[in-house]
Structure 1
Amino acid sequence: MSDVTTTDLYEVTMALSYLREGMRTPATFSLFVRDLPPGRGFLVAAGLEPALDFLARYRVEREDVQEFAAALHRPPEDLEPLLGLAFGGEVRAVPEGHVVLAGEPLLEVTAPLPQAQLVETYLLNQLCHQTAVASKAARCVLAAAGRPVVDFSLRRTHGPWAGLQAARLGAMAGFAATSNVAAAGALGFPASGTMAHSYVEAFPSEEQAFRAFARTHPGPVTFLVDTYDTEAGVMAAARVLAEIRRGPGCAIRLDSGDLGDLARRARTLLDAAGLPDVRIVASGGLDEYAVAELVHNGAPIDVYAVGTKVGVAADAPYLDAAYKLVEYGGSPVMKLSSAKVTAPGRKQVFRRPGQPDVIGLWDEDPPDSAQRLLRTVMRDGRRTAPSDRLEYARARCAHDIAALPAPARRIHRPEPWRPVVSQALEDLTSRVRGETERRFRPERRGLSGSGGQTDRKLSSSLREPH
């Protein structure tokens, strides 16, 4: 399956019509999240790097045309105008790892209209999924309050590719390791793993299982101790660990039950056996909410392994994101649909220390001491710089989250940090709204009541970021 044909059919029908109508004028589309999901005080931008890889290699080949034609039940020659179309536009985007807020563009594309239209679905797919998972992972790191977090999500993610993405996004958010061998190799990131209950069950006793495992693996080992009776498992692990004397790095893992209570009992048993350096790893359906509760209650857990709920961003698995036309042929445009008003023009986000972000126009002067968040990352269909490095994205994530107000970082009932709109963008929005109303709603001119009510509703929608 080609990445080119990984798109919604209406992108193809629109692009074909644009080409036949000679509509190749540059257009700008803005990709943004309208509102943060419930339970989120911020988002972490992610998915840009694979999106840029996609755009850099984008070209409609003969087999793509044939697949489009088959989907439309038309002869391939009808789709010939699409043949050879490649992405040659400009991309301005927020680098991965930065915190982003509702209404702020994650990415803007300026390219000939058919090109910009055809890439919409893939870009939304990449940025929305990965931003959702990265944001969930970052909250797990916050909840762990300095304790290492490990990715165990591969077996429950929605496909192997999603598992690779989850491992990468966890690394970006501050995780310490992943169980995913392929991801660890691809990312140069530590791999981490222990054993399954089935391994313990295959031996006559837990102690024999632990000894066999230790014989095979000469370095630090982690024993899963809750296959039968957890306290008996801890004591069996303690006997083996005391004998093999592997030094620091050894651990036991708890995977079920009341993890806080079991961790306290396990810590007591390990300390009594003279093993204060043996760590306790907890896993089993954890996410930021469970981790935060365990930390708050003082559970003596040293490492948290998170999987299912994080790899699929279970409580907020999608984003209310849009990819909307904001400029065509050099003129700003906007959508006026009820509850889905879009602000016109190319945007920039200005980040100010200790103050709300400002969503403004691309070419306006920044407020004092403000950082421009969107950067030009692609021009004429080519990257403007080498691929971003994971460690840079990780550093941005840590920096931006630390700079957020405490209420936005809260795990329970966070208060979203909201941007404001610059005066220049407000003025442009007001002007374009008026021009658009006059062009497309002429029947409302002169009507008392309804017109004013519409203007108030539009103005309220546009100013929500305040």
Structure 2
Amino acid sequence: MKHLTLLTDLYELTMMQGYFKSGSNETVVFDAFYRTNPCNGGYAVCAGLEQIMEYIRDLHFSAEDIDYLRALGIFDEDFLEYLSAFRFSGDIYAIPEGTIIFPREPLLKVIAPIMEAQLIETAILNILNHQSLIATKAARVCYAADGDSVMEFGLRRAQGPDAGVYGARAAVIGGCCGTSNVLCGQMFDVPVKGTHAHSWIMSFPDEYTAFKKYAELYPSACILLVDTYDTLTSGVPNAVRVFTELREAGVPLTFYGIRMDSGDLAYLSKIVRRMLDEAGFPDAVISASNDLDEYLIETLKAQGARITSWGVGTNLITSKDCPAFGGVYKLAAIQDEQGNFLPKIKLSENTEKVTNPGNKTVYRIYEKDSGKIKADLICLAGETFDTARDLRLFDSLETWKRTTLKAGSYTMRELLIPIFKQGTCIYESPSVMEIQRYCNKEKETLWNETKRFANPHEVYVDLSDELFDMKRKILNKFSTEKQ
């Protein structure tokens, strides 16, 4: 795959040239964060860090890139010469993939010369936004499935090859048991799964023969699609006939069952379950597909559907009801000649768009007894906290909302970890399946009230006293200057 250095917006490069021409290349801090949970949910799942690491490691301008930029007619030769030797030399901190995340907290922090930090904005957001969106959607679908396996199989409906491959990877991080995407399986060593299409059935003289041939080929992974003609009068009876023949021939039925892709799935699954049980196949899988998402799965569960495995495609790989994550990348501080970080803030008429200034980090606070998330705390880098002391928390926008955590009743951990130091990658990404196991544990730290789809409970993301005071002073300063 071609390196991604030019996967950027033109204004990143024009700003870089502006900094270059003015001799301005101070070290700065940029934060990547998002403002609203996708799908009107109560949380999100962080994903995409591994590809960001690959992008940063390979960041360079080839001779072909330089020739293309020269042909645009807007860049001077001295700047192009600078680009020809460009390498990232800064630091990057990030929240690991699979971590539960919330609005406004930095998911990734860049500390680098401003030309370097500016260039990488677009690619970081492109990668982080898409993969976090799909991982979040997958987590929601898997929550609705309530322990049943969920397979991602949306490649043919994804928004292009990259979205299909990296979206499938993110879906597995979010909880899917596997994907139909073979390239994703090869690239990331995740389980690939699948059955057969209606065309397989239609290519044979009759349904029974199609089932029998498939079972002969794949006796240990024999899921038969039963709705090509008629689920109850043809598909299931023919599947039962084939399962019976396999058992009589001494073939072990290790993983077998049926799949339905149409009709009233709640009603049909109840009838199919009874038919399979009466035929002596109580452990046969009943799998379903057909434009599923978390809302439909939740409804089918509420109606008593006997489905035990779910195939989710279009609505997952595209996050159809919420197609964008909305992450942003904002300047938070500039380092002065003495090495101190001077806080910077973006103001807005919209309160939620006012940024948090300074060089920051994030702590997660857990209720000690339950292990559940109590709140997140954004603070200045270097701040320390003592869990043996009371901790006061308050909403930075609605400051009358306050709570005090008693000493010894809570635990804390820092979320941002170093990924690059002085341009060198110091972090090794776990395997996708290791990230999935970590993500599953992360989801267990959420209260059920936060996981629900309708009006989920909000997990508060608060500011430390020190950060809040800094932000207030800056805001007061701007307010005074306007008068």
Q: TM-score, structure 1 length as denominator?
A: 0.91
Counterpart of 2:235?
233
Task: Give unpaired runs (5+ residues) of structure 2.
Answer: 336-340, 368-373, 388-410
Question: Percent of aligned positions with the same letter in both sequences?
Answer: 36
Q: CA deviation at 1:391?
A: 3.5
Partner residue of 2:325? 319
Residue number among 260, 264, 287 corresponding to 2:266 in the alignment: 260
Correspondence 1:342 to 2:384: no
Query: What is the CA–CA distance in structure 2 between the aligned matches of 1:303 and 1:15, rounded to whole Å?
Result: 51
Give distance in 1, aligned partners of 2:365 and 2:76: 55
Name the CA distance, whole Å, in 1 between partners of 2:478 and 2:185. 52
- Cα distance in 2 for partners of 1:73, 1:348 equals 38
- Deviation of the 1:77 alpha carbon: 5.9
* Letter in structure 2 aligned against 1:334: I
Moved more, 371-380 or 64-73: 64-73
Runs of 4+ in 1 over 6 A off after TM superposition: none
Equivalence for 2:384: 365
Q: What are the residue-to-residue correspondences of 1:118-137 with 2, within 5 Å? A: 118-137=119-138
How far 1:397 sits from its partner (Å)? Answer: 1.5
Match of 1:297 in 2: 303
Equivalent residue of 2:467, what SS? Answer: helix
Given that 2:42 and 2:458 are in contact with CA atoms closer than 8 Å, whether structure 1 keeps it comes out as: yes
Which residue in 1 is equivalent to 2:395?
none
Distance 2:81 2:331 in 1: 25
Q: Is the 8 A contact 1:102 1:418 kept in 2?
A: no
Deviation at 1:74, TM superposition (A): 5.4
1:270 CA drift (Å): 1.1
What pairs with 1:62-211 in structure 2 (closer than 5 Å)? 62-72=63-73, 79-211=80-212
How many Å separate the matches in 1 of 2:77 and 2:20? 15
Q: Does the 8 Å contact 1:405/1:417 carry over to 2?
A: no
1:109-166 CA deviation, whole Å, 9 max, x = no partner? Answer: 0100000000000000000111110000011111111111111111111112211112
Provide closer, same or farther for how the CA distance between residues 86 and 78 of structure 1 changes in structure 2, counting only shifts above 3 A.
Answer: closer
Verify the 8 A CA contact 2:189 2:432 in the aligned structure 1: no
CA distance in 2, matches of 1:291, 1:237: 25
Matched-pair contact (CA < 8 Å) for 2:364–2:375: yes
Identify the residue that residue 444 of structure 2 maps to in structure 1: 402
1:111 counterpart SS class = strand
Q: How many residues align?
A: 441
What is residue 391 of structure 2 aligned with on the other side?
none
Which of residues 462, 469, 483 is equivalent to 1:420? 462
Larger mean CA deviation between 78-87 and 319-328 belongs to 78-87
CA deviation after TM superposition for structure 1 residue 38, in Å: 4.3
CA distance in 2, matches of 1:372, 1:165: 27
Cα-to-partner distance string for 1:21-69 (whole Å, 9 max, x where unaligned): 1111101100000122342110001111111111112122332222223
Which is further off, 257-266 or 363-372? 363-372
Q: 1:87 is aligned with what amino acid?
A: F
Describe the shift of the 1:253–1:350 C-alpha distance in structure 2 as closer, same or farther (beyond 3 A): same
Work out the CA distance in 2 between the residues paired with 1:333 and 1:325: 7
Contact 2:17/2:79 (8 A) holds in 1? no
1:223 corresponding residue in structure 2: 224
**Which segments of 5 or more consecutive residues in structure 1 lack a partner in the other structure?**
446-466
Q: Report the equivalent of 2:371.
A: none
User: In the TM superposition, what are the counterparts of 1:414-453 in structure 2 within 5 Å?
Assistant: 414-437=456-479, 442=481, 444-445=482-483
* Distance of aligned partners of 1:306 and 1:219 in 2 relative to their CA distance in 1, 3 Å threshold: same
TM-score w.r.t. structure 2 length?
Answer: 0.88
CA separation of 1:16/1:306 partners in 2, compared to 1, >3 Å: closer, same or farther? same
Output the CA distance in 2 between the equivalents of 1:37 and 1:195: 33
